[in-house]
Amino acid sequence: MKKPTINDVAAAAGVSRATASRALSDYGRISEDTRKQVKAAANKIGYTPNQVARSMRAGNTKTIGLVIIADFTNVFFDRATKGIVDTARANGYEVLITNTDENLEVEREAIQTLLEKQVDGLIVVPSTATVHDHLSTENRNNTPLVLIDRMVPGINATSITTNDFESCEKAVKGATNKNHTNMAFLIATSTVQEPQEEKPFLQNSIIEDRVNGFMSGVKLNKIKSPTWIFSPEKPAQAEEAVKTLLNQKNPPTIFFTSNNDMALAVLRAANKLNKRIPEDISLVTVDDSPWLEAIAPGIDVVERPVDELAKLAVEKLIEHINNEAKKPEKIVLPTNLLTRGSIKDLKAKTK
Q: Does residue 292 have a pLDDT over 90?
A: yes
Lowest mean pLDDT among 75-84, 98-107, 216-225: 98-107
- Find the radius of gyration of the CA atoms of the chain: 27
Same domain for 197 and 287, yes or no, is yes
Same domain for 32 and 177, yes or no, is no
Whether 157 maps to a domain, the answer reads yes
Number of domains in the chain: 3
* d(C-alpha 269, C-alpha 263), whole Å: 10
- Candidate ranges 188-197, 199-208, 211-220; pick with highest mean pLDDT: 211-220
Same domain for 26 and 78, yes or no, is no
What CATH number corresponds to the domain at position 75? Answer: 3.40.50.2300
Same domain for 316 and 276, yes or no, is no
Same domain for 178 and 317, yes or no, is no
Same domain for 143 and 262, yes or no, is no
Is pTM beyond 0.95 here?
Answer: no
Same domain for 112 and 243, yes or no, is no
Across the chain, mean pLDDT equals 90
Structural domain boundaries, residue 13: 6-49
Q: Does residue 337 have a pLDDT over 70?
A: yes
Same domain for 214 and 344, yes or no, is yes
Whether 1 maps to a domain, the answer reads no
pLDDT (average), residues 176-185 = 97
- Candidate ranges 58-62, 126-130, 150-154, 335-339; pick with highest mean pLDDT: 335-339
Whether 54 maps to a domain, the answer reads no
User: How many Å separate Cα 69 from the centre of its chain?
Assistant: 6
Whether 256 maps to a domain, the answer reads yes
Q: Does residue 63 have a pLDDT over 60?
A: yes
Same domain for 300 and 312, yes or no, is no
> In which band, very low, low, confident or very high, does the pLDDT at 351 lie, cut at 50, 70 and 90?
very low
Same domain for 233 and 278, yes or no, is yes
Whether 174 maps to a domain, the answer reads yes
Q: Does residue 122 have a pLDDT over 50?
A: yes
Same domain for 282 and 295, yes or no, is yes
Q: Does residue 339 have a pLDDT over 80?
A: yes
Whether 279 maps to a domain, the answer reads yes
Same domain for 291 and 319, yes or no, is no
pLDDT digits (tens, 9 = 90+) for 212-271: 999 999 999 999 999 999 999 888 999 999 999 999 999 999 999 999 999 999 999 999
What CATH number corresponds to the domain at position 25? Answer: 1.10.260.40
Lowest mean pLDDT among 36-40, 102-106, 314-318, 335-339: 102-106
Whether 74 maps to a domain, the answer reads yes
pLDDT (average), residues 9-31 = 83
